[in-house]
């Protein structure tokens, strides 16, 4: 359980002064602000983002390797088809060559056969390169797939950790809001409205007067100002002449 607020910030006890309740309300509001700020800047959120990016880059790599393997396979298939054609044509031409008598015709057939042999040699080379690419990509794919479980687990774990700390903060905020409602019930409506108005501008709306110093703006009031604040009606909460916060004596 997160401890965001001191125990003294519990529901008001008996005859507490308006000023004390106001300061307690401020304490609870500050704790709520801090919890919300923490929730918006969780390092668990960063961890989840990193894990998610890691998975995304894994997926891209997987996709790229898949494509490399597919491309190489297609090249190999094309080579095979063309090689079969060449072999069949060559066989036919060689048979033809055996029955040809005219030297010019024989020469033309030999030339055609030589071209087929050259093309076949080039195809073999292309097929060899494709086989090499395919084999390297398959090795890389095996390594990549061996990492898949741990990468997906890391995302799931980061997600769980984030949700857990978010839920903890939500519980803490909910508890603080219950306290807050308790305090607001003990404050006069106009003072509460004044408090909310100052808070929306300043973040902190109520501060204690410590000696001559306002603990809201940390500035010293003049002797005359201190006298004026101290002389105010017992139930009135004056504003700091420097920062405008409600000054609790």
Q: Which stretch binds Zn ion (CB under 5 A): 35-43, 65-73, 171-179, 232-240?
A: 232-240
Complex with Zn ion: residue 132 or 228, whichever CB lies closer:
228
DSSP calls for 212-241: TEETTT--BPPHHHHHHHHHS-TT--PBPT
Residue 206: strand, helix, or coil = strand
Q: Tell me the closest approach of the beta carbon of residue 180 to Zn ion, in angstroms.
A: 23
Q: For residue 35, count CB atoms less than 10 angstroms from its CB and return exposed for 0-12, middle for 13-18, buried for 19 or more.
A: buried
Q: Which stretch binds Zn ion (CB under 5 A): 47-55, 98-106, 190-198, 214-222?
A: 214-222
Q: Tell me the closest approach of the beta carbon of residue 236 to Zn ion, in angstroms.
A: 17
One residue of 30, 96, 242, 249 binding Zn ion per CB under 5 A: 242
Question: 62 Cβ partners below 8 Å, 6+ apart?
Answer: 141, 144, 145
One residue of 216, 225, 226, 248 binding Zn ion per CB under 5 A: 216
Q: Tell me the closest approach of the beta carbon of residue 30 to Zn ion, in angstroms.
A: 16
For residues 246 and 194, what is the distance between their CA atoms, to the nearest angstrom? 9
Complex with Zn ion: residue 62 or 213, whichever CB lies closer:
213
Other residues' Cβ atoms within 10 Å of the Cβ of residue 86: 16
DSSP calls for 78-89: HHHHHHHHHHHH
State the number of CA atoms in the 13 A half-sphere of 35 facing the CB: 24
One residue of 21, 240, 246, 248 binding Zn ion per CB under 5 A: 240
One residue of 113, 144, 165, 243 binding Zn ion per CB under 5 A: 243
Q: Which stretch binds Zn ion (CB under 5 A): 60-68, 92-100, 119-127, 236-244?
A: 236-244
Using rule CB under 5 A, residue 214 touches Zn ion: yes
Using rule CB under 5 A, residue 217 touches Zn ion: yes
Complex with Zn ion: residue 19 or 216, whichever CB lies closer:
216
Complex with Zn ion: residue 128 or 219, whichever CB lies closer:
219
Exposure b/e, 144-156, CB count within 10 A at least 16 = b: beeeeeeeeebbe
**Chain positions contacting Zn ion, by CB under 5 A:** 214, 216-217, 240, 242-243
């Amino acid at each position: 359980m997160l401890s965001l607020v001191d125990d003294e910030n519990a529901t008001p006890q008996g005859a507490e002064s308006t000023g004390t309740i106001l300061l307690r309300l401020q304490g609870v509001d500050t704790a709520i602000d801090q919890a919300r700020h923490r929730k918006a800047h969780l390092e668990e959120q960063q961890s989840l983002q990193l894990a998610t990016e890691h998975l995304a880059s894994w997926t891209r790599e997987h996709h790229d390797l898949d494509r490399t393997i597919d491309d190489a396979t297609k090249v190999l298939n094309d080579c095979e088809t063309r090689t079969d054609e060449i072999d069949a044509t060559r066989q036919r031409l060689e048979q033809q060559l055996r029955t040809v008598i005219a030297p010019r015709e024989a020469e033309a057939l030999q030339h055609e056969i030589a071209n087929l042999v050259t093309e076949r040699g080039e195809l073999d080379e292309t097929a060899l390169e494709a086989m090499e690419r395919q084999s390297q990509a398959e090795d890389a794919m095996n390594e990549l797939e061996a990492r898949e479980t741990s990468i997906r687990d890391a995302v799931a774990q980061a997600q769980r950790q984030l949700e857990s700390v978010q839920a903890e903060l939500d519980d803490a905020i909910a508890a603080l809001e219950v306290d807050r409602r308790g305090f607001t019930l003990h404050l006069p409506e106009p003072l509460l409205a004044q408090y909310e108005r100052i808070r929306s501008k300043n973040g902190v709306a109520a501060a204690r007067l410590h000696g001559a110093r306002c603990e809201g703006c940390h500035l010293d009031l003049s002797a005359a100002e201190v006298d004026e604040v101290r002389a105010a009606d017992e139930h009135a909460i004056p504003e700091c002449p420097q920062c405008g916060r409600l000054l609790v004596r």
